[in-house]
Amino acid sequence: MREGEAAPESDRAEGAPHPRETAVLFGQARAERELLDAYRAGRLHHAWLIGGAPGTGKATLAWRFARFLMAHPDPDDDAVRAAADLSVPPDHPAARRVAGGAPGDVAVLRRAWNDKTGKFFSEIRVDEVRRMSGLFQQASRAGGYRICIIDTAEDLNTNSANALLKLIEEPPSRSLFLLLAHHPAQALPTLRSRCRKLALDPLAPADAAAALRALGRPWSETEPAALDEALRRAGGSVSGALPYLGGERLILDRETARLLARLPEVDWAGLHRLADKVGSDEDDFAVLTGAILDWLHGRLGAGATEPRRLAPLAEVWEKVRRSARDTLALNLDKKTFLFSTFADLAQATRAL
């Protein structure tokens, strides 16, 4: 980073607008209505666990709701009663503040940037929670809610989750916590129990394609066939489709699938070639790990009636997820990750 540059944001997909800058939400009208109805009925729970697959709009919904509360701090306001959704005009002062990155009464908990390593930390640290808690020790600037968006709950470690739990257990008045989770069941049980659950729906193909095009150039100019293929490979995830929007990455994905199909036999020469293709590119690495996790997910789903037999694969799934995150955060050798992962996969599949 150059002096004076803003630190990278772990909750921003590379090359795409940040969710706070995204004005339109696709395919989640039901969830949006639930939040709006709770607010204007005066029964807005102080903590929400918003769950859904990656790339379905959790962060966009959270920022959209935060923007709406900032624009309309009084739930009895006529504009709130007449609202059909949580949209706020882009020229509204609250919308401009949020889009400009100076939301005032909104704090974000996410993996912070580590200047020493030039990478993001692998977890949300307890120090980040303590810094964020300062927001709730002062009055709201607009007289409305003070809001914290946690992106994501899975990134909390035990210490940071417990520190957040203390805030949620005894919340100051007019405070709101929006915890985003790809896998809500993995959140700390005591934290989960304090939250109202809101599950987002999978995006319909048309909504996912529209959301991708709404990101602007170059996504809006992508050929429909390439867009459909990227979304298919990403399981309908908008953010997950971004790394696939390039022919070379689709080739990389198919080569990974070929090597996985040969298990428990390992094509070590093929792995060397694959590792050379990935190099140090983080998007390529995301494609690689996504293909491995998808393959494991498919095998686990196909044998759901035999959980004991599939226990070795489940252990590998968790290890791959954790190791992939640490490899990026700590700038570890990607070839070592790849070889270690395939050795574990081979051992697990032989046991089936």
Taken in order 14, 17, 20, 23, the sign of the CA dihedral is negative
Taken in order 293, 213, 200, 164, the sign of the CA dihedral is positive
Q: Output the CA torsion 98→102→108→112 (10° steps).
A: 130
Count CA within 13 A, CB hemisphere, residue 235.
15
Q: Tell me phi and psi for residue 147, to 5 degrees.
A: -125, 135
Angstrom distance (rounded) from CA 8 to CA 10: 7
Q: What is the pLDDT of residue 25?
A: 96
Angstrom distance (rounded) from CA 243 to CA 142: 39
Please state whether the peptide bond connecting residue 218 to the residue before it is cis, i.e. omega within 30 degrees of 0: yes
Cβ-based neighbours of 300, under 8 Å, separated by 6 or more? 310, 313, 314, 317
What architecture does CATH give domain 19-199? 3-Layer(aba) Sandwich (3.40)
235: left (phi over 0), alpha (psi -120 to 50) or beta: left
Element (H, E) at 97: helix 93-99
Distance of CA 128 to the CA centre of its chain: 18
SS3 content of the chain, % helix, strand, coil (to 5): 55, 10, 40
What the block records as the tokens of 276 is 């050379």
> Where does residue 7 rank: exposed (0-12), middle (13-18), buried (19+ CB within 10 A)?
exposed
What DSSP string describes 12-35?
A: S-TTS--GGG-----S-HHHHHHH
Q: What is the pLDDT of residue 247?
A: 63
Provide the residue-wise pLDDT of the chain in tens; the chain has 352 residues: 455 467 889 999 877 889 999 989 999 999 999 999 999 999 999 999 999 988 999 999 999 999 999 999 999 999 999 999 999 999 999 999 888 877 678 999 999 999 888 888 989 999 999 999 888 887 776 678 999 999 999 999 999 999 999 999 988 888 999 999 998 988 899 999 999 999 999 999 999 999 999 988 888 888 888 888 888 888 888 988 888 886 677 788 889 999 999 999 999 999 999 998 888 788 788 889 988 988 898 888 776 667 677 888 889 988 998 899 888 878 888 999 999 999 999 999 987 7
Q: In angstroms, what CA-CA distances link 67 with 28, 84, 121?
A: 17, 15, 28
Contact 119, 98 (CB under 8 A): no
Contact 83, 36 (CB under 8 A): yes
Q: In angstroms, what CA-CA distances link 250 with 169, 191, 262, 320?
A: 46, 39, 19, 21
